[in-house]
């Protein structure tokens, strides 16, 4: 028998509310062609699944299901947003190639940001 606690029910209630609050956004992505930031939705989903795993290791089984529900909604938002971008901007491309292009641009942006930060650190060191 699964033993539950009030914390398990509280976490589940909150996570299910998060999932319910995302449903209008999911409807917009599905029916109106709205687009969310792919990496925000994707990484939020991955982190959500990670939290579900943490809840499982703590024995918070109901919370694990609730968090898995939220993570799944975020994953659907990411997938359908990517599909909407592909359909609108790159209709001849495969979904995988559009995702690879997005990832490449993201890596370049991260590299640019990190290199700027490293340059700033070295310029401060050289001024001292």
**pTM across the whole model:** 0.79
Alpha-carbon torsion (110, 43, 11, 1), positive or negative? negative
Q: How do residues 71-90 score in pLDDT, each as one tens digit?
A: 999 999 999 999 999 998 88
Band of pLDDT at residue 2, cut at 50, 70 and 90: low
CA 90 to chain centre: 23
Mean of the per-residue pLDDT values of the chain = 90
Tokens read off for 100: 């690879």
Over range 86-99, report the average pLDDT: 89
Q: How do residues 46-70 score in pLDDT, each as one tens digit?
A: 999 999 999 999 989 999 999 999 9
pLDDT higher than 70, residue 1 = no
* 103 vs 65, more confident: 65
Over range 95-109, report the average pLDDT: 87
For residue 2, what are the contacts with CB-CB under 8 A and spacing of at least 6?
Answer: 61, 62
């Amino acid at each position: 028998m699964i033993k539950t606690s009030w914390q398990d029910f509280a976490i589940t209630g909150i996570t299910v509310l998060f999932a319910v609050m995302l449903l209008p956004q999911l409807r917009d992505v599905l029916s109106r062609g709205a687009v969310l930031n792919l990496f925000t939705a994707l990484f939020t989903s991955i982190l959500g699944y990670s939290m579900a795993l943490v809840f499982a290791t703590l024995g918070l089984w109901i919370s694990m299901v609730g968090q898995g529900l939220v993570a799944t909604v975020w994953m659907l938002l990411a997938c359908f947003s990517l599909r909407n971008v592909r359909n609108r901007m790159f209709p001849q491309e495969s979904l995988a190639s559009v995702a690879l292009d997005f990832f490449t641009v993201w890596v370049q942006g991260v590299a640019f940001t990190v290199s700027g930060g490293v340059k700033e650190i070295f310029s401060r060191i050289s001024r001292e």
